[in-house]
Structure 1
């Protein structure tokens, strides 16, 4: 992830970009809601990665973030047509290396926001 300022410096007027938007709403008092963006980037810098969106009720930030990461990694592996079973790409803390959140050659990250519903 990069800062907004750095990202804007890479854009040109009229350029079309890909993005995702996560949103989750509730008017139920104290209902836990979450919206998360997941990212999976391959080790090969010449290959595009994937971003995903996940929103949920009752999931913690960690659960929603892990799901969004898994979804992005799953889309990435589908695109690359890996012969391995998709379950091999699920989030597994035991396989994370010291170099960061890297699983099977995919650098993964997420950004998640959670809140509790307020009844007006």
Structure 2
């Protein structure tokens, strides 16, 4: 029922049921990418990680039934990921949630190598 209602809290609950922190971050990151407006294809892998990922993606898709991004929900999930050891999973979200961030990060990286 949560998927039918597009319950973002259900995305989080389902992701937190994943076996490993990496699986959890992958599921949350995939849902956040979809919510931010990215085209995300579900994994064809039939493993446990893929099932969690596909369910989180289905929940996120139900939340955006009209096709418009829910960047507020995506930001909330991204903030949750940033508080974990899997913070690098947020990098693919930057063009959607903080369009200027990749350019600034690139400049910082160039400055470090000088």
TM-score (norm 1): 0.24
Q: Report the structure number with the largest CA radius of gyration.
A: 1
Bigger helix fraction: 2
TM-score (norm 2): 0.25
